[in-house]
Amino acid sequence: MKTSRRVEERSTGRRSWLVGIQTILVLAFLIALIRSNRERLLNRLRTFNKRYTNPRVLQFAARRKSPYAVLRHVGRRSGNTYTTPVVADFVPRLNSFVIPLPYGEGTDWCRNVMGAGRCTLTKNKVAYTLVEPTIIEASDVLTDLPVQIQGTLRFLGLKKFLQLHIETSIPSDKPVDLVSTLER
């Protein structure tokens, strides 16, 4: 009886070890699959956010204690003014705002800001004129951000930020015009 119990324990131990290995292999496969399709997934998410999420976020962005800011920029070809909700944080060490680029630097709003060399950012009811846009590595600024944001951005695999220096700032209680300025 003692022998059969030991054999059962060993086989049960082997089974749990095999299940653990299989679980690790399945997770590794899923992670590889997600990474290989990352661009396609990001493009779908970006399109969804642009059409459905952004108009709703603009309703409360730029208010006090909102994590979102409102970025106004001019189209590089059309000359139209667009409004885009973004997450922006002021980094005292750099004396500038930084905006994460989860979809990369090829998004329309980022290319518009880079082309114009300036934009307006409204955050916490203050409108800032921002100049000198520069793409920087996430590692240069990530440790300057709040811990909760750092974890999220690391999980997302964020690699780049847009850095913008403050030219001027003025208090702003003017609500965002959602329909005429929403980026298409």
pLDDT tens-place string over residues 84-98: 999 898 988 988 999
Q: Could you tell me if residue 162 is inside a domain?
A: yes
Percent of the chain with pLDDT over 90: 26
The β-bridge partners of 162 are 99, 135
Work out how many domains the chain is built from and give that number.
1
* Lowest-pLDDT range of 27-31, 99-103, 168-172: 27-31
Band of pLDDT at residue 68, cut at 50, 70 and 90:
confident
- CATH number, domain with residue 177: 2.30.110.10
Q: Could you tell me if residue 41 is inside a domain?
A: no
Q: Could you tell me if residue 121 is inside a domain?
A: yes
Q: Could you tell me if residue 10 is inside a domain?
A: no
* Mean pLDDT estimate for the chain: 78
- Is 100 or 172 the better-scoring residue by pLDDT? 100
Band of pLDDT at residue 180, cut at 50, 70 and 90:
very low
Q: Residues 74-83: contacts with CB within 8 Å, 24+ apart? A: 74/112, 74/116, 74/119, 75/108, 75/112, 76/111, 76/112, 76/115, 76/116, 81/181, 82/108, 82/109, 82/112, 82/181, 82/182, 82/183, 82/184, 83/58, 83/176, 83/177, 83/178, 83/181, 83/182, 83/183
The β-bridge partners of 171 are 126
Supply the range of the domain harboring residue 163.
Answer: 61-181
Q: Could you tell me if residue 21 is inside a domain?
A: no
Of 59-73, 84-98, 162-176, which has the strongest mean pLDDT?
84-98
Q: Could you tell me if residue 175 is inside a domain?
A: yes
Q: Could you tell me if residue 48 is inside a domain?
A: no
pLDDT value at residue 18: 53
- What are the pLDDT digits (tens) for 93-150? 988 999 999 888 888 899 999 999 999 999 888 899 999 999 999 888 888 888 878 8
pLDDT value at residue 16: 54
Q: Could you tell me if residue 87 is inside a domain?
A: yes
pLDDT value at residue 179: 35
